[in-house]
Amino acid sequence: MGISIGEITRGMTIVYQGELYEVMEFEHVKRGRGSAFVRAKLRGMRTGRVVTETLRDSDNIEVAFLEVRPLQYLYQAGGKYTFMDKGSFEEYEVPAEAVEPIRGYMVEGLEFTGLFYHGEMVKVEPPNFVDLRVVETPPGVKGDTATGGEKPATLETGLVVKVPLFVTVGEVIRVDTRTGAYVERVG
């Protein structure tokens, strides 16, 4: 079933010209004469490529309904990342490019969410918060804690985040995967 351009929202998954896209940004444009259109930035769900398209009501745009399944990240080998469906125990290999934005949150055994379209896994999403161990950070300078300063910390996955000055090597911190920001110490 097609939708009108007025129904398009950020984060929506659509089928446009036979391809599956996630709407990253959009802008409704209404001119004095002529029909309205939407200028949208779309990310290809299968390719990861970002394109800018002009969408009109005359275009055949459909909402793609995605099935959500819990996955467990198993391991990485040969440029592929392997996840297991926690319900069916089926394994899925994902190329490195598909997980590039979330690679810093990938710890073996962690639960992720898989989005499937007609039985094909098209996207992997991390949990909202991930606990990671600090492997490298400069020592905080005594007396600087009152200023609320921050310093960079390299985590076990290679991810670098800004942390408060009191965080030390070996501690486990919670990171918000939606923003990439430090949340709290957890151990």
Domain architecture of the chain: domains with CATH = 5-63 (2.30.30.30), 68-125 (2.40.50.140), 129-185 (2.40.50.140)
Instruction: Work out the pLDDT band at 92, boundaries 50, 70, 90.
Output: very high
The model carries a pTM of 0.76
Three-state secondary structure call for residue 57: coil
Q: What pLDDT was estimated at residue 85?
A: 95
The per-residue pLDDT of the chain, averaged, comes to 88
Instruction: Work out the pLDDT band at 152, boundaries 50, 70, 90.
Output: very high
Q: Which amino acid does the sequence have at 105?
A: Y
For CA atoms 32, 37, 38, 39, the dihedral sign is: negative
Q: Cα 23 vs. chain centroid, distance in angstroms?
A: 13
Q: What pLDDT was estimated at residue 82?
A: 95
> Which residue reads 């440029």 in tokens?
79
pLDDT surpasses 60 at 146: no
pLDDT surpasses 80 at 48: no
| DSSP conformational letter for 2 | B
In DSSP terms, which residues pair with 85 in a beta bridge? 71
Higher local confidence (pLDDT), 49 or 40: 40
Rg (C-alpha) for the chain, rounded Å, is: 21
Work out the average pLDDT over 128-146: 81
Q: Which amino acid does the sequence have at 126?
A: P
